[in-house]
Structure 1
Amino acid sequence: MIIKKKEFTIKGLACTIRSAQPDDAAYLSKIRVQIDGETENMDREAGEAFITPSEFEQLIKHDSADPKNLFLVALVDHKIAGFSRCEGNHLKRLAHKAEFGVCVLKKYWGLHLGPHLLQESIAWAETIHLKKITLNVLETNEKAINVYKRFGFEVEGILRNDNYLSDGCYYSTLVMGRLNV
């Protein structure tokens, strides 16, 4: 689905949240690898599950046409700084919910782009009458967990020893959900 873009200023920087466009694909392919290498909060190592520009373009086109999906980009001074995606489901028993994920380049951490992307995703979910948004977050990502809780998400489960990180330790994943009632 495509939403109306939102513009705002954070710390003197012009910011925009808008739907991803096919011409964003090459840059999204590049920064996804970069983001994966900048933090261990993602499910992937840098370069794993690589999405080519062509694959990103197809994903953007699919999500733009599907009312159950939302692919957003966050721009700072007209340059993509992060993105988020909500993926719904067309199976009757699961059609009431969507899964949310977000990525922001480390250079732009602290500008609250993640919360802005989340806020727009929640507004979209309410507009199309979804009853639930879910997400997974690494147990050590306390900043993100606190943001999600501030937006009404609750821990619904724990996937124990779900991630093996570079320090040689296993970490759990929190499954969080937000009901739109």
Structure 2
Amino acid sequence: MSSTAPLGRGPKVRAAVLAATVDELGEHGYAALTVENVARRAGVHKTTVYRRWPDRDALIADALGDSVTTDIPIPDTGSIDEDLRGLARGLVAWVKSSGGQAVLSVLLSETTGAARPPDAVRHVFRDRIRTSLPVVGRAIERGELPTGTDAAELVKALVAPIYFRALITREPVTDATADAAARLALTGARAGLFEKSG
């Protein structure tokens, strides 16, 4: 719902526009999103949006990156079992959120032949993997995982079953999905399947 009171400048405007972008993506999808509709929903003029973001794709990438960073916490419990479970459950909760639905709508638009989303959207996922790597590094330092474990490959193995259900088979994802993904990734890691070669 758009606001009738002017928001002014600064962080409140940015937050309102990014939230409106996520909501528009979730409701209407990537191809149908317009800056005009985002501005209307946020309660700002479209020139306000264009002053901060040069084009629609820059706005979308910023909104999705902000959503992923805010909505998926990086756990540090002191146990790799709990940390991986927490990461997976955080991802499942995010997939079900408005931000997650917005990201999925962008990614699904590419698979259905609609307008191709910006590469920056894929960068959001690469960046999220990068920010999760310390979870694995701490576990290696504690002796919970083999020394040569490739942290990025482990995190990819953790998130892959969740994204497969959400994007490909379109099955519901639950905490049980998250827990199974965490157990599978951890079993592989402890067996040395993700150790770096050479």
TM over 0.5, yes or no? no
Q: By percentage of residues, which structure has more strand?
A: 1
Q: Give the TM-score category using the shorter length.
A: 0.3 to 0.5
Instruction: Name the TM-score, length of structure 2 as normaliser.
Output: 0.34
Structure exhibiting the larger radius of gyration computed from Cα positions: 2
RCO greater where, 1 or 2, for CA within 8 Å and sep 6 or more? Answer: 2
